[in-house]
Amino acid sequence: MVQTSSSNKNLWVASSDGDLERVQYLIESEGMSPNDKDSNSYTPMHAAASYAHLELLTYLLSKGGNINIPDDDGETPLFVVETLDAAKFLIENGAEVGWKNEEGLSAADQLSEDQPEISEYLYSLLPESERPPSSLSQNNDNDDEEGEEIDVDEIENPDGISSLALENFTEEQSNYLMAESEKIMKECHEKGEQPDEKLQELVENIIKNGLNFAKNAQAQSSSDIGNKDLTNGDDSKRIREE
């Protein structure tokens, strides 16, 4: 039996509220459908997806809900998700990640400004040819963020650099890269900004640090060799004089 407090809700409000009992009543007793559109072409599928009511979405799908049903703007429920869990649920149940709305935008394009995390997830499912350059750059930066260490072989190893010094430097730079990447991603997410430019600047600084380290180590090595030659020269002179 539908509770009195929810008996006046229409299908779309009940779906937005995640009121499964009321939705079941309207569909099973009143003959309504998960694909019915309101005056704004909004469906229960859109409403449940927008508010991440996954249990309700499961029920709607079982009653014939079309996971790719478009509204009048050509936007499917995937276009209105606000959580990563909801996006993943829709994808796992057949949502078309490459679907384009009337403006020729995909859900990933549409969500890029307000929901960057969801947008990047959706872009990652598209072929590279359909991803914007910023997304491809972001994927590469994420590889670094997830713990890929700087390749020691990519930094020149001049004679005289100890393995321990090089290892310590590499570990320090890798930890710095990871920490700063996480900081940038968090700040940009909070501000609704794209992190690409800041992440690229961070990587460039890491490369500069590596080059400076190699240059300083090489200079120190040359200095040590010069001092050693001078010392040996004095010893030889002392021996000859004796």
User: What are the 10-residue block averages of pLDDT along the chain, 242 residues in total?
Assistant: 64 97 97 97 98 98 98 98 98 97 96 95 89 62 50 47 72 80 77 78 80 73 56 48 45
CB 56 within 8 A of CB 89: no
Return phi, psi of residue 197, to 5°. -65, -40
pTM above 0.75, yes or no: no
What SS3 class is residue 106? strand
Nearest to 122, CA basis, from 110, 140, 104:
110
Classify residue 100 by its DSSP letter: B
Cα separation, 194 vs 182, in Å, equals: 13
pLDDT at residue 92, as a whole number: 97
Amino acid code (one letter) for 135: S
Q: How far is C-alpha 94 from the geometric centre of its chain's CA atoms?
A: 22
Name beta bridge partners: 106: 100
Sign of CA dihedral 110, 113, 118, 123: positive
* CATH class of domain segment(s) 1-131: mainly alpha
**Could you tell me the two tokens for 17?**
């509220």
Q: Residue 172: CA atoms inside 13 Å, Cβ hemisphere, count? A: 9
Radius of gyration, CA atoms only, the chain: 30
- pLDDT (tens digit, 9 = 90+) per residue, 90-122? 999 999 999 999 999 999 999 999 999 999 999
